[in-house]
Structure 1
Amino acid sequence: MVGRTLEVPGAHDPRAPSETKDHAVVTTSELLPETVPSTDHVVALVERWLAESAQHPVDPAAQRLAGVLKDPNGLAFTVGFVDGVMRPEDLGVAGRNLAEVAKLTPKFLPAPLKAAIRLGGAMAPTFPWLVIPIARRVLRAMVGHLVLDATPAKLGPAIAKLRESGNRLNLNLLGEAVLGEHEADRRLKGTYDFLARDDVDYVSIKVSSVVSQLSMWSFDEAVEKVVAKLTPLYELAAKGAAAGKAKFINLDMEEYRDLDLTIAVFKKVLEQPQLQQLEAGIVLQTYLPDALGAIQDLTDWAQARRAAGGAPIKVRVVKGANLAMEQVDAAIHDWPLATYDRKQDSDTNYKRVLHWSMTPERIDAVKLGVAGHNLFDVAHAWLTAKERGVEDGVEFEMLLGMATGQAAAVRGDVGRLLLYTPVVNPSEFDVAIAYLIRRLEENASQDNFMSAVFELSENRALFERERDRYLRSLAALEAETSGADVAAPGPNRTQNRRTEWTEPGTAGASSPVAAPAPGEEHEGSLTSVVLGITRGSALDGELMDDAAAAASGLTGPGVTPGFRNEPDTDPALAANRDWGRRILERVPGSTLGIDTLKANRIETVDELEQLMTAVVARGTEWGALSGDERAAVLHRAGLALAANRDRLIEVMAVETGKTIAEADPEISEAIDFAHYYAERARELDRVQGARFVPSKLTVVTPPWNFPVAIPAGGVLAALAAGSGVIIKPAKLSQRSGAIMVEALWEAGIPKDLLALVDLGSRDLGTKLVSDEKVDRVILTGAYETAELFRSFRQDLPLLAETSGKNAIIVTPSADLDLAASDVVKSAFGHAGQKCSAASLVILVGSVAKSERFRRQLVDAATSLRVGWPEHPSSQMGPIVEPADGKLLHALTTLGADEEWLVEPRQLDSTGRLWSPGIRANVKPGSYFHLTEFFGPVLGVMHAKDLDEAIRFQNAVDYGLTAGLHSLDSDELATWLANVEAGNLYVNRGITGAIVQRQPFGGWKRSAVGAGAKAGGPNYLFGLGDWEPVHDEPSRSLHLRGLEQRVTELIEASQPSLDYESFEVLRRSALSDEVAWAEEYGTVKDVSGLGVERNLFRYLPTAVTIRVGEDATLADGLRVIAAGLLAKSKLSVSTAHELPKGVRALLAAREIRVVREGDAGWLDRARKGEITGRVRLVGGSASALAEATGGTPDLAVWSHPVTPSGRVELLPFLHEQAVSITNHRFGNPTTISEGVI
């Protein structure tokens, strides 16, 4: 075979991402030399092993489990038993779950066992204390052959028995999820104690179980910390080796994100002088295309170590068992799947890695552990090792309890086996759930060799299936290495923030544009390079002429029509970590935004008047453009924001203390707003029955806590809707707002269309908000700020996202480890300074007494590393200014009967660095229960049942976000039917809403004005007015397809309407039906992630319809028809006499009708009788605002009545976004099926 040179892109070296290593070049002769066994020999050996395995006794537990998993309900039954009966602390929950699981009892089970399970299922809900312990013992017997009992009395004998056959054991201690340092230390000590035993000589441990809450952004610091914690364990192994009792440590790996870290830790530990002579191992997963580059890098390093007199290392080669969770990770983050997506490719790569590694010179430095149960792969590896003369450097490894007969047959040829042996304490058996579910899924999946393991000898079809899979995987490698030059596999994930942009004007080229080093930034950062423009150039000329071509010739994300979320930066990749570190190095001396603010300082009323006049004029031109033309410019703006990602992160860290892990997703959100609103701008022109009338001037007043995403969202939405914009950033984050606006100017948005202001006085701020030239104000801030703005101008068209007092409910059916993790992330992300943050956790029933939940909650919170954002290791940054007022009270003062679970501490003299605080025993109705504090403090409440917990959750004035942790479908249904919030989250954190996936906005006092959810399909609708568009009258007068209640209204109205009015009413009702069928009457999951259901739905809400003296009866009836279709709780105030039939119809539906003139209507409004939402037909919105004192509690829709159902149904419906984690350990779950 002739060797051909192949380049391995992205050769693996986590510490030197830009270097090209010698091992990046391989040849086909190295990958598949002549010394590869013939496939006939491999197949013959497998057949012999299968024949010999029949002579060994079959483990009855293993055979029973295999039979169960072949049943159509087998996997669901077994996983349901493991996760639903073994896991819950609450026996009542386990009993209810057993009753459900028993319905799936596989037919394969012996009749007595089936009968016992069904009887147990019937008795469990009533007598869980009796049934559940027995059921758990039965299940442990069913899967107990896969794990060892860790109790001292049983572990020693079990180890001795397993070693009788000559096998060696690789012990892996399973434990609770590592959320904090206490559990990490406990896991490490347990492993240390194992290794210290005389009967244990081999252990496995993962870096993620040694140190909690690892951040890849602080890669170097993480390596140092893990090395420091692992070194004593390795020194114990070295001490044993020196005494003639060899001890071996295998550094395990599970997630792709840990690949670089694990390799770096492994090298750094063994580079210590006292460990030079210690042989140790590491795992590589060949379902990662990165595996070949990784083993080449390790081999280079190991050969240098050997040359210096050090011991060899060992690489345990596995295919990988975390595919399901890798798929989750990729889907949630919009990253490429890190693994191969076809099993055949993984199988091929497995052989590719073995072929490259099995040479005498490499085996001398890197021993191999060939791990797996696929007999064809094992035979291939064994024969390859023999033919190449390296069998002494190859060890074969299998899993405890899996295919024991086949393992014994293999052992007859290869010598002793190394058995991967999980160990768990029976009292903590639930911690083995993730491991067991992976094993169960492998045994059940038809793609996996193990699904056929007990039938290969007798079932020729299954044998040929597995043989052909083996042959195809080998053929793929032969084809790859025998044709023209091709690239051997490199990583699937290649995102590189420093080289991701392409020079414009070079179609099809891929010449990288590297980010400048500190101090060498391009003018306008990368924008001019990316877009080929300078600040303001693209649209400063003839706006109408230039806009249509604004996005032509661009490369990059989001240019083409359509929308896809912008991926966050992947810190698992070395190049990105280097990029991030460069940003943080610039933070201490950063001056970004200062000059821009100075240049846009407004000191006088005249200056402000001139600016507003100019923006109105340019906004009028802009609004005359089509939605398609505006969309082209907004897509360009999205590219500009992406090109300025580094500068935006830098300025956010400087001003608001955001860590890079918090700041980076915010830039992605801003980019998403640009591209998403661009597409929504197109839709405005396509609404049937109505014409959108843009505002001329919109004022955006954003908050400081999301200093880029929220300002960008408001600005971009207003621009998309055709308005000129003035943005006044919050005082605490002005520089961040300035850099964001700079990026948009650089994209070609003129300064007199988008104006940035830094106002010199409070009076100027008042004028900006209250001036009659202002058509809309977009506010994100406190409810009190909305009240203040309305005090300046009572009829101010204000659209505001305001406060939140958000809670997560945790029921006894929840996964308590997952719940504790999500609560801490939701409470303390950005130091609790998110309006969506969890301020309360409500523990239902027995959860309030759960020591495990309390321990995990406290461990996770106290392990957060608090610090300034320029330090990569900081996980929780500072609060934006020294604590005072409400927040200082919350951090320092307990209420009646409350106590600190974790007492917050001020960490330095600035008053901005505080450690997290958790207070227990928060009482219903207390100050802490009802008050928003906006900082790193969490309250714990107790509720006797779910209904009471929901009452506590709903008791606050706000309804922004709400969470539930429960694995019970009935509980989920109850909660979804009763919780009062705009954004709901199930079995996940309650922060981090993503554009389109989870449109953001609340209910009650969390939302002000006649608006809609930001990042959702209706947000632009509220940023202008609407006017009717009437089609030609139809010759048909049919009412087919209408809801009965609407048909009855139209029929009752007919005698009082002329033909034209009747026709408009009829056609409007038909438009309503179309809008209901296509949008409002459906529950949509536009993102379609699968692993997470992101549902958007509409729920009817109470609305008062006011038909004024200057309105027509026909318009009033048209709006009533929309309210009836929406099933809204209506009340009607009308200056017109309604037809008798209509009055009777509304009375029958318990809809109150008040006949009153405009004066009477306004008098009732003054008395506070009009609340919530109002659809004003005719009359005066300004007069209503004056009568109510401009209260933000009243939302008024007052645009002219249109025939468009898409427009007219909106006031009658609450939008709600529901995000539900739809997997358990990566495997699909049915928890929400049939519920929503």
Structure 2
Amino acid sequence: MVVQSNSYEVKTQEIAQELIASTRSKKNILARMQEQMRWDDKVLDWAMSNPGLRVQLFRLIDTIPALQSKTEIARHLQQYMSDESVELPATLKGILNFTEANSFPAQTAAATMIKAVESLAYKYISGETITEVIKAIEKARKDGIGFTIDLLGEAVITEQEAHSYLGKYLELIEQLSAKAQTWKRQEGIDLVGDETLPQVQVSVKLTAFYSQFDPLDPVGSKAKVRDRIKILLAKAQELGAAVHFDMEQYQYKDLTLAILKELLLEPEYRDRTDIGMTLQAYLQDSYRDLEQLIAWAKERGNPITVRLVKGAYWDSETIKAEQNHWQKPVYSQKAATDINFERMTRLLLENHQHLYGAIGSHNTRSQAVACAIAESLQIPPRRFEMQVLYGMGDQLAKALVKRGHRVRVYAPYGKLLPGMAYLIRRLLENTANSSFLRQNLAEKSVEDLISPPKLPLTPSSKAGEDFHALFQNSADTDYADEELRTKSQQALKEVSNSLGKTYLPLINGEYVETTEYISSVNPSRERELIGKIGLISVEQAEQALQAAKSAFTLWKNTPAVERANILQKAADIMESRRHELNAWICLEVGKILPQADGEVSEAIDFCRYYAAEMIRLDEGYNYDVMGETNRYFYQPKGIAVVISPWNFPFAIATGMTVAALVTGNCTLLKPAETSSVIAAKIVEILIAAGIPKGVLQFVPGKGSVVGAYMVKHPATHVIAFTGSREVGCRIYADAAILQPGQKHLKKVIAEMGGKNAIIIDESADLDQAVAGVVYSAFGYTGQKCSACSRVIVVETVYDALVERLVEATKSLNIGETDLPSSQIGPVIDSTARDRILEYIALGEKESNLALSMPVPTGGYFVPLTIFTDVSPQAAIAQEEIFGPVLAVIKASNFDQALAIANNTDYALTGGLYSRTPEHIARVGREFEVGNLYINRSITGAIVARQPFGGFKLSGVGSKAGGADYLLQFLEPRVVTENIQRQGFAPIEGNE
């Protein structure tokens, strides 16, 4: 049947009017008035009336389930509500009228808040047990409404949790199916005409079946997930239950669809129509996904159900895209989502022969559109249903049932703590200004509520704004994009075919032969040669220094803008060669691709940021008074020796080198021997970008000989070093000695590592904390100066944290870093491996070995190791190990945890997982680290956003990627001129 779209609108208006009238009936208004007497509704009212209060209330609600006493809840209540942005209602002021958190008024306030949160939870969560869920289901069935059950749970970050998730769903299906045997089948729920439908339906998340579900590893993720899905689908088929697959964050969308589409084409599943999947209309590519799904369904020959929703992760998707400098996957405006939802509803329902539609929305107009299309096309009832969330669309659901439509309620169940993320999403949705439910409750005019969605006019940019002048961080590769994954794999193959070449030093613009060579090998496969590197002699080091001296005058006088343009061009070349550079990093130093990619982004950022900073600094400033001019400006120091590390062979080497170059210094780059091929690539790029002959020298050599010679040389002005504390201190001492003929004091910039700690207090989100600690401790096999090597845990959550931490680490995949499934690779060489193993042996004597992971052979692999019950004074808690060894320390309280964290020689990075405002404020003042991270991992500093560097014995100098870093390579000067002549001077404004 063909129906004109304009007839849908006429019918939509009629149906919407009817539905709204039903939800605004006197009976429903009375029910709402009664509900508003309850504390949970007071909380919602407060949240809707004050944006500042809304934020703090929801943060408090998020924290409450983790707190273990009314005293703690009272303390947090007071801390959250004392925020300056909060304007407190009189009732709330009243219950906060206490001074001691353990007083009777405080305990009463805590009890009141607990009751309110529990009431809110039960408003949106159907129960904490299957028994409670069955009661909720049976109540819905009495109203003519079907159900689908979603099991709330902790984030699946361990394989143990993934197996548990599957087991709980199998148990859920069994118990619900057993109970269903006692239900009489109902028309509109279980019976549609002469067709019987499954009485039981569950909704599951694909990522929960495998803790390491990752778009970068589609093959490995699919293999793990398929095996577990098959178990679930077999049980569901045996018991006559339906299974619906939810959609989650955008990064998982394409892989989720690919896995399900491939699985459901297999003969075993091709005939089944009791399976569904979900699409989210707030995604800009969702309409295309639906078109492709329709084509797939036609090929399959048997329909499945598509649940169409608007989407629940808008805030997090927007934030993630903004932080990663990616294009936002979601529509920016709600009206655009509503428009797309209606387009997709029409497309879905007009193809009801191929896909069954399940329209999930609490927006009366959205549901009315679906009803209008279904009725106009006379879609059979089996092929179309409406869905609402438990506790959010009760009156609308009843109104739809009254009109004769099939309705299903999406009912989550589980414990309050693991369900908190779901609860917060519901609260955000219910209290948002754009929420249809809120607008309907506010008695907004029916005409406005049901009018077709329209996009507001986009305001034009302000005149004179130059967005291109602002520094923008480079975007990391989004490996959820299949095209980019393919390019990365192609680059790995191409680079693998280019191994084994020889890389020579560059002195005075010429590549020179040497008498000594070393081999760079792949740490994942120690027999694989990456390349041979020529090592310079002391005599050649002298030649390089003299060439730099000769080139200095011309380079010093090159306009800053020209030097900056060379850096910008270098950044462009790096961007164009990103996947190739990632591959070299992956193979030469054993980094997995995403972490190699982040390093290339950082190098690009260094080029662009330092270029912009040099142009800013080159302007200097004037401080003139009548009769006198004063000009403040900078000049380069002279010759800079850059000694770069192997653990960030591209980013750190690039950052130090281009900082020296753009400020007008001639520069000698001496890389770590194990990463010299990557350094050679940096030099290739800088030469291609236009660095003149003699300005940059590539001088690979032995640090103890050539490095020491250049540090001590009287022609050297600046030494930029990143590496071990031992070598850094030696450089610092040697540079301080005035050499014969030297007429300046040398500047040393040294980053020398850390013994970094993460504190976890009793209010921490343990899902977030465990994932953050695992990434911070074991990312790049712990070989980051910023890596977490100590986790200090308040004793009330110690056991729970340790259990999940060990299991999460066990779940990581260790292997060769060019394999997509690998998350952890080798250490850099045999020397590092042996040293780390010595520390592990020492740790076994000092503390409890909680985990030692088995490792592959054929490379420099060491076991991921966790020690528990570690003394704060133990060697593994005090000395930098630079490997995958984590010491877990118990603290009796937060004060002791902070004292332990500060009790080392280092002050580089640190972290805190907490939802206690007072603790968050205190670490900002008292945690002695250069970079402090709260409620996130402690590695991965981003240029300009998080300039990087520490103090104490972690190093000396300004933060890399910060506004004052270039000043270390410059000499400030002031020129003052008396402009009076015979008692007169030019006066601005006079002729």
Q: TM-score, normalised by structure 2?
A: 0.85
Matched, 1:580 2:579: no
For 1:148, the equivalent position in structure 2 comes to 126
1:856-877 alpha-carbon deviations (Å, 9 max, x no partner): 2122211111111110011111
For 1:218, the equivalent position in structure 2 comes to 217
1:897: how far off?
5.3
1:1143-1158 alignment runs, 5 A limit: none
SS at match of 1:900: strand
Whole-Å separation in 2 of the counterparts to 1:448 and 1:274: 43
Matched, 1:196 2:195: no
**Contact 2:505–2:535, Cα closer than 8 Å, also in 1:** no
Whole-Å separation in 2 of the counterparts to 1:1004 and 1:405: 63
1:659: how far off?
0.2
Q: What percentage of residue pairs aligned between the two structures are identical?
A: 30
1:683: how far off?
2.3
Whole-Å separation in 1 of the counterparts to 2:848 and 2:104: 36
Matched, 1:383 2:368: no
**Contact 2:602–2:942, Cα closer than 8 Å, also in 1:** yes
1:20-55 alpha-carbon deviations (Å, 9 max, x no partner): xxxxxxxxx999576554454244333443355846
Whole-Å separation in 2 of the counterparts to 1:158 and 1:273: 37
1:850-869 alignment runs, 5 A limit: 850-851=799-800, 853-869=801-817
For 1:467, the equivalent position in structure 2 comes to 450
1:65-84 alignment runs, 5 A limit: 65-66=40-41, 68-71=43-46, 72-73=49-50, 75-76=54-55, 78-84=57-63
Whole-Å separation in 2 of the counterparts to 1:95 and 1:397: 39
SS at match of 2:976: coil
Matched, 1:832 2:811: no
1:314: how far off?
1.1
SS at match of 1:453: helix
Residues 453, 106 of structure 1: alpha-carbon distance in 2 compared, 3 angstrom cutoff? farther
Whole-Å separation in 2 of the counterparts to 1:982 and 1:583: 36
1:999: how far off?
0.6
AA matched with 1:384: I
Whole-Å separation in 2 of the counterparts to 1:864 and 1:936: 12
**Contact 1:644–1:743, Cα closer than 8 Å, also in 2:** no
**Contact 1:369–1:397, Cα closer than 8 Å, also in 2:** yes
1:845: how far off?
4.2
SS at match of 1:667: helix
**Contact 2:488–2:580, Cα closer than 8 Å, also in 1:** no
AA matched with 2:826: P
Task: Select between 560-569 and 997-1006 the one with higher mean Cα deviation.
Answer: 560-569
Residues 414, 892 of structure 1: alpha-carbon distance in 2 compared, 3 angstrom cutoff? farther
1:756: how far off?
1.2
Residues 290, 593 of structure 1: alpha-carbon distance in 2 compared, 3 angstrom cutoff? farther
Whole-Å separation in 1 of the counterparts to 2:58 and 2:715: 63
Whole-Å separation in 2 of the counterparts to 1:984 and 1:466: 47
**Contact 1:559–1:635, Cα closer than 8 Å, also in 2:** no
1:436: how far off?
1.0
1:818: how far off?
1.2
Structure 2 gaps of 5+ residues are 181-198, 458-465, 513-533, 622-630, 738-745, 982-991
1:453: how far off?
3.5
1:504-549 alpha-carbon deviations (Å, 9 max, x no partner): xxxxxxxxxxxxxxxxxxxxxxxxxxxxxxxxxxxxxxxxxxxxxx
AA matched with 1:265: I
Residues 368, 121 of structure 1: alpha-carbon distance in 2 compared, 3 angstrom cutoff? farther
Whole-Å separation in 2 of the counterparts to 1:100 and 1:791: 49
AA matched with 1:49: S
Residues 331, 676 of structure 1: alpha-carbon distance in 2 compared, 3 angstrom cutoff? same
1:232: how far off?
0.9
1:101: how far off?
6.3
**Contact 2:725–2:752, Cα closer than 8 Å, also in 1:** yes
SS at match of 1:711: helix
For 2:76, the equivalent position in structure 1 comes to 97
1:1026: how far off?
2.6
1:86-108 alpha-carbon deviations (Å, 9 max, x no partner): 33246543231234568899999
AA matched with 1:1013: K
**Contact 1:99–1:121, Cα closer than 8 Å, also in 2:** no
Task: Select between 920-929 and 888-897 the one with higher mean Cα deviation.
Answer: 888-897
The match for 1:822 among 772, 788, 793 is: 772
Residues 380, 585 of structure 1: alpha-carbon distance in 2 compared, 3 angstrom cutoff? same
For 2:478, the equivalent position in structure 1 comes to 570
1:745: how far off?
1.5
Matched, 1:1027 2:973: yes
**Contact 1:61–1:141, Cα closer than 8 Å, also in 2:** no
Whole-Å separation in 1 of the counterparts to 2:318 and 2:978: 53
1:683-722 alignment runs, 5 A limit: 683-688=616-621, 689-722=631-664
Whole-Å separation in 1 of the counterparts to 2:60 and 2:868: 33
Whole-Å separation in 1 of the counterparts to 2:467 and 2:535: 36
1:843: how far off?
1.2
SS at match of 1:209: helix
Matched, 1:769 2:711: yes
The match for 1:620 among 526, 536, 553 is: 553
For 2:762, the equivalent position in structure 1 comes to 812
For 1:1152, the equivalent position in structure 2 comes to none
For 1:434, the equivalent position in structure 2 comes to 421
Whole-Å separation in 2 of the counterparts to 1:787 and 1:115: 57
1:203: how far off?
0.8
For 1:1180, the equivalent position in structure 2 comes to none
**Contact 1:656–1:732, Cα closer than 8 Å, also in 2:** yes
For 1:1128, the equivalent position in structure 2 comes to none
AA matched with 1:262: T
For 1:231, the equivalent position in structure 2 comes to 230
The match for 2:413 among 415, 420, 423 is: 423
Matched, 1:747 2:725: no
For 2:530, the equivalent position in structure 1 comes to none
Whole-Å separation in 1 of the counterparts to 2:360 and 2:317: 20
**Contact 2:654–2:682, Cα closer than 8 Å, also in 1:** yes
1:1127-1142 alignment runs, 5 A limit: none
**Contact 2:905–2:952, Cα closer than 8 Å, also in 1:** yes
Whole-Å separation in 2 of the counterparts to 1:373 and 1:605: 76
Matched, 1:406 2:387: no
1:827: how far off?
0.6
For 2:270, the equivalent position in structure 1 comes to 276
1:439: how far off?
1.0
Whole-Å separation in 1 of the counterparts to 2:231 and 2:319: 35
The match for 1:969 among 917, 934, 941 is: 917
1:310-342 alpha-carbon deviations (Å, 9 max, x no partner): x31111001111111112211221112210000
**Contact 1:602–1:608, Cα closer than 8 Å, also in 2:** no
Whole-Å separation in 2 of the counterparts to 1:562 and 1:98: 41
Residues 226, 584 of structure 1: alpha-carbon distance in 2 compared, 3 angstrom cutoff? farther
1:261: how far off?
1.2
1:924-979 alpha-carbon deviations (Å, 9 max, x no partner): 22211210000001101122233322222222111111111222222222222222
SS at match of 1:707: coil
Task: Select between 723-732 and 59-68 the one with higher mean Cα deviation.
Answer: 59-68
Residues 627, 101 of structure 1: alpha-carbon distance in 2 compared, 3 angstrom cutoff? closer
AA matched with 2:439: A
Residues 67, 929 of structure 1: alpha-carbon distance in 2 compared, 3 angstrom cutoff? closer
AA matched with 2:546: T
For 2:748, the equivalent position in structure 1 comes to 798
1:651: how far off?
1.0
Structure 1 gaps of 5+ residues are 1-28, 477-557, 1036-1236
Whole-Å separation in 2 of the counterparts to 1:411 and 1:790: 79
For 1:318, the equivalent position in structure 2 comes to 309
AA matched with 1:267: K
AA matched with 2:908: L
Q: TM-score, normalised by structure 1?
A: 0.69
Task: Select between 893-902 and 130-139 the one with higher mean Cα deviation.
Answer: 130-139
Whole-Å separation in 2 of the counterparts to 1:76 and 1:791: 52
For 1:545, the equivalent position in structure 2 comes to none
Whole-Å separation in 2 of the counterparts to 1:660 and 1:608: 35
For 1:871, the equivalent position in structure 2 comes to 819
**Contact 1:833–1:935, Cα closer than 8 Å, also in 2:** yes
Whole-Å separation in 2 of the counterparts to 1:107 and 1:569: 45
Task: State how many pairs are aligned.
Answer: 898
1:635-666 alpha-carbon deviations (Å, 9 max, x no partner): 11111111221221111111110000110010
Whole-Å separation in 2 of the counterparts to 1:418 and 1:567: 42
Whole-Å separation in 2 of the counterparts to 1:250 and 1:733: 49
For 1:179, the equivalent position in structure 2 comes to 157
SS at match of 1:83: helix
Whole-Å separation in 2 of the counterparts to 1:76 and 1:659: 38
